[in-house]
């Protein structure tokens, strides 16, 4: 096996991560397509949270999901641009979670279960960043 050839697990992991990130893109699209009528069907406290989302939080959401999706495509192409792309995406995730947990206090709004998905998202983002760094160190990415 050549030094520049990734391990057998590399491609399946990256394909799974790409599917995960495409689900994030779908979630972003659904978020952007929420109509006032759809928001009106939510509980009152959630209506306020959805109606007043600042532009910077929406931009962070977009950068997070599209950045990580692009990072996965870079990994599949064995391109070292995956690392800065995943780093940018992780930064955007942290900005978005600042809004969710500090600005609107989503734990109070949605309950303790609102913590699990964001933590999982952060763990996956860190894992993908680490994978891209390992790929550069191992010579898998050029």
- Between CA 129 and CA 25 the distance in angstroms is 18
Instruction: Give every CB contact of residue 81 below 8 A, 6+ residues apart in sequence.
Output: 74
Reading the chain (142 residues) residue by residue, the pLDDT tens digits are 445 888 899 999 999 999 999 999 999 999 999 998 998 998 887 887 788 889 999 999 999 999 999 999 999 999 999 999 999 999 999 999 999 899 988 888 888 888 999 999 999 999 999 999 999 999 999 9
Range of 132's domain? 10-138
- Tokens matching residue 25: 């893109």
Tell me if 118 is assigned to some domain. yes
pTM above 0.85, yes or no: yes
Tell me if 33 is assigned to some domain. yes
Tell me if 71 is assigned to some domain. yes
H/E element, 109: helix 106-110
Q: What is the pLDDT of residue 111?
A: 82
Tell me if 5 is assigned to some domain. no
Tell me if 82 is assigned to some domain. yes
Tell me if 4 is assigned to some domain. no
Total domains, the chain: 1
Tell me if 2 is assigned to some domain. no
Taking CA atoms, 74 is separated from 18, 41, 110, in Å, by 10, 40, 35
Q: What is the pLDDT of residue 3?
A: 52
Tell me if 3 is assigned to some domain. no
């Amino acid at each position: 096996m050549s030094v520049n050839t990734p391990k057998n697990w590399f491609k399946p992991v990256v394909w799974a991560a790409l599917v995960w990130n495409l689900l994030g893109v779908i979630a972003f699209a659904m978020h952007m397509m929420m109509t006032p009528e759809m928001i009106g069907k939510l509980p009152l406290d959630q209506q306020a949270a959805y109606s007043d989302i600042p532009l910077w939080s929406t931009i962070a959401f977009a950068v997070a999901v599209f950045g990580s999706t692009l990072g996965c495509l870079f990994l599949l192409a064995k391109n070292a641009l995956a690392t800065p792309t995943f780093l940018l995406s992780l930064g955007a995730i942290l900005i978005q979670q600042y809004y969710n947990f500090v600005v609107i206090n989503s734990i109070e709004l949605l309950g303790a279960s609102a913590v699990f998905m964001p933590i999982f998202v952060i763990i996956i983002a860190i894992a993908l960043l680490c994978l891209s760094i390992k790929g550069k160190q191992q010579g898998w990415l050029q």
